[in-house]
Structure 1
């Protein structure tokens, strides 16, 4: 999709969808006045009509923005996404060859315009790579205005494209994206977007004594990869932000096997990895004056004679020992070694891990918001401000000492599974055991990384949750 700044007139357009944005109670003075008089302009109200103008029929979408004072960026992303979906539906049903969406009467501030465009690009997304018949889509979005929105368009395009990179990686089936191919994708993206990539294969992972990570990977014939991405935009500064993404390209549950219905979507268990990859693309392409290192412990959790088992005791890279109560609590094991590595080997000074970690996160907050576990309130404040810019909702969970007792092992230092109570908190605190004292944030995107329906700027399937929040975190830290 191309976003263009133009200055067309409605009457000059034919094979295009005309979108006219209206605040509640607003009418327009052009040749759509009579139609807009009857349109209330309530928020997210989109009405498609055929207007007969200058001897020809034109597809028109009247787009309600609601009360101006109640509008915010996230609401604009949602209405932008729904406008794109409406436009795709019109294109699908139309016999004419329609490729453009022309937007008129745009009376938004620059940041609001950026949010609307993000919503349109993300709402136009559909993962139909493996369908023989593709749906028609919008090729060009033309903003018809005399205001220069060039910078806002460029940023919206970058953030949306980076989010779509994450969506595509998650939506790919596990026979296409597995540790080796995920690593190859990252190498290609690093070359395209300008960040350095180093891939560690199994021998190097063994040399690093990442035994928790290797235990999870031990049951699969697809060998693990440890992916390191580096962007150093301010080499004189010793401050480095670390990003750690959970990279389970498929999770069967291991010997603690999942039921078939729960395994169907386990290609999505690398949503955290996809988020940090997308964020690194945006960070590097924007040439932020920051230092960021991201790592992914990529593997599959499978069953074989070599697979790790309930009752095993393993020694992590940090030398802390872990009692395995449940092989389906595997993500925290890979994160334990990855987060220890990025702190001690890459010398990051703040770290965020992001993971589709627990069903308990879905129980706690549903698909609306991401639960957060942290050891540093000031660091959380920066993340919270970033989430307000991205529109991706977060909520900080309590970390009372009583929760930490639940993950203490009886035969080892730690146990990899606690009780069902407070599950997303105890899982996060398990990862926190490998952080030492540096500022740390854990994001459990199990509920927010995938959408069960198409609505607003989200499409059924992967959402790319976390990409834009991590970008703004890096920008504002």
Structure 2
């Protein structure tokens, strides 16, 4: 999709999107032909349309034997206008234009706003590309319609700032859509080997380095918690290590992004229901978020050093699969009693985290995982659960969430709940009967040591059952924009 500035008045516009604040005056819009203004005024009066936040009205007008589609969209009180309201109202407008099969649209902003030109361009491009996304590669009869261009009708003070924002927004969106593609692919297409191959291609395209360890190398590293989960599958486990070094300062810190990479999760011997397994191709959404983020920060050339770690495997049933009651020795040396084979993600994560902290000498850790149904039950499908041991990192993550609209809510790492994870015959159990999201976070924390750390549980936010905001049906790509923005805020930081 082409996104640019409208340089001069255009007599015929196929689709016209007009975003107005309450009590907006369409006559004040530059470059909008009089016949369009007259039609808008008449329609607003006749329909008693109010430019309330995210309210939308579409209609057609005929002029000089040519028909134009008009989409009116409200942004509410202009005094309360911000990035989030622009994103949400624009998403409604773009989705309406797509439903009308628009190929080319002109966007008019009929209100004063306080956004910088960079922020305006970023949000426009990001929102349009996220809303236009669709996963249809397996359909025989595709809807071939695409919105090919959006032209912003305004005269910026500095066009280069607006264009810079458009470029940045495109990078955020394309990395998110890459993650969406990965998560939407079925498990017969994306499994550990092909996930690693995808990451290799991304590394080559976007400019970060990568190495992939096979199962023999993983065994030599004594990552037995990870490998125990993988035992039931014929698909060989892979450890994917991605490196981006954007800061050459010797004092610069390195941040590890660790993504859960279960390319399919049957639940193991604690087998899921048929309905529960239907979406388990998405249990690698954390891994997809890490790969997407590595691609985005490399393209943006952020001044940060980041390592992406993905322990990729399947959790299946076979004569070789691990059982309830097994005792596993993790790479850290801690032993784990398995009380639920469907609490497998944390077993892969803790070995991946220990590898990052012990072998790669990272300074900070963020893990992202579709980890617990409890997080989804508590916060639904629009808010990601976040836990951590570092106030500064938590503050920056919340700021990144506010900026991107990928909302988070902090859950407490309530230490007394750790007792529920104590085992009589091992150091820890891999589950607890209470506070499932929090005890999962506490379990992971036991393997982090003293490193500053955040844990993102995206079990509720990784998939959508219907379009909402910038998200389509299916994979949301959650985490890519959030982590990219977080890392951007860390770009000037050093030890």
TM-score of the pair, normalised by structure 2: 0.92
Specify which of 324, 332, 350 is matched with residue 336 of structure 1.
Answer: 350
Structure 1 match to 2:468? 455
Structure 2 match to 1:141? 150
Instruction: State the aligned residue count.
Output: 468
Structure 1 match to 2:493? none
Structure 2 match to 1:45? 55
Structure 1 match to 2:17? 19
2:120–2:165 CA contact under 8 A, matched in 1: no
Moved more, 276-285 or 64-73: 64-73
Structure 2 match to 1:94? none
Structure 2 match to 1:412? 426
Written as runs of structure 1 = structure 2, the 5 A alignment for 1:155-194 is: 155-194=168-207
SS at match of 1:51: strand
Structure 1: 5+ residue stretches without partners: 92-97
Written as runs of structure 1 = structure 2, the 5 A alignment for 1:2-151 is: 2-13=2-13, 16-29=14-27, 30=32, 31=34, 32-37=36-41, 38=44, 39-91=49-101, 98-105=102-109, 107=111, 108=113, 109=115, 110=117, 111-135=119-143, 136-147=145-156, 148=159, 149-151=162-164
Following the alignment from structure 1 to structure 2, what is the Cα–Cα distance between the partners of residues 192 and 79?
Answer: 33
Structure 1 match to 2:484? 471
Following the alignment from structure 2 to structure 1, what is the Cα–Cα distance between the partners of residues 429 and 198?
Answer: 34
Following the alignment from structure 1 to structure 2, what is the Cα–Cα distance between the partners of residues 409 and 142?
Answer: 62
1:362 deviation in Å? 1.0
2:26–2:110 CA contact under 8 A, matched in 1: no
1:8 deviation in Å? 4.4
2:25–2:110 CA contact under 8 A, matched in 1: no
Written as runs of structure 1 = structure 2, the 5 A alignment for 1:366-405 is: 366-405=380-419
Following the alignment from structure 2 to structure 1, what is the Cα–Cα distance between the partners of residues 298 and 68?
Answer: 42
Deviations 1:258-296 (A, max 9, x none): 011100000000011111111111111000111010100
Following the alignment from structure 1 to structure 2, what is the Cα–Cα distance between the partners of residues 326 and 289?
Answer: 42
Following the alignment from structure 1 to structure 2, what is the Cα–Cα distance between the partners of residues 9 and 403?
Answer: 64
Specify which of 317, 335, 339 is matched with residue 321 of structure 1.
Answer: 335
Structure 2 match to 1:433? 446
Structure 2: 5+ residue stretches without partners: 491-495
Deviations 1:353-378 (A, max 9, x none): 00000000011111121111111112
Deviations 1:170-221 (A, max 9, x none): 0000000000000000000011111111111101111111100000000000
Deviations 1:325-356 (A, max 9, x none): 00000000000100111111111101100000
Structure 2 match to 1:95? none
Specify which of 445, 455, 458 is matched with residue 442 of structure 1.
Answer: 455
Following the alignment from structure 1 to structure 2, what is the Cα–Cα distance between the partners of residues 5 and 470?
Answer: 29
1:439 deviation in Å? 0.4
2:126–2:170 CA contact under 8 A, matched in 1: yes
SS at match of 1:173: coil
1:374–1:440 CA contact under 8 A, matched in 2: yes
Following the alignment from structure 2 to structure 1, what is the Cα–Cα distance between the partners of residues 331 and 122?
Answer: 44
1:81–1:124 CA contact under 8 A, matched in 2: no
1:392 deviation in Å? 1.0
For the aligned residue pairs, the C-alpha RMSD in angstroms reads 1.4
Q: 1:231 aligned to 2:253?
A: no
Deviations 1:372-394 (A, max 9, x none): 11111122111111111111111
1:240–1:291 CA contact under 8 A, matched in 2: yes
Following the alignment from structure 1 to structure 2, what is the Cα–Cα distance between the partners of residues 253 and 474?
Answer: 33
Deviations 1:12-60 (A, max 9, x none): 33xx211122111112224232333324211112211112234422111
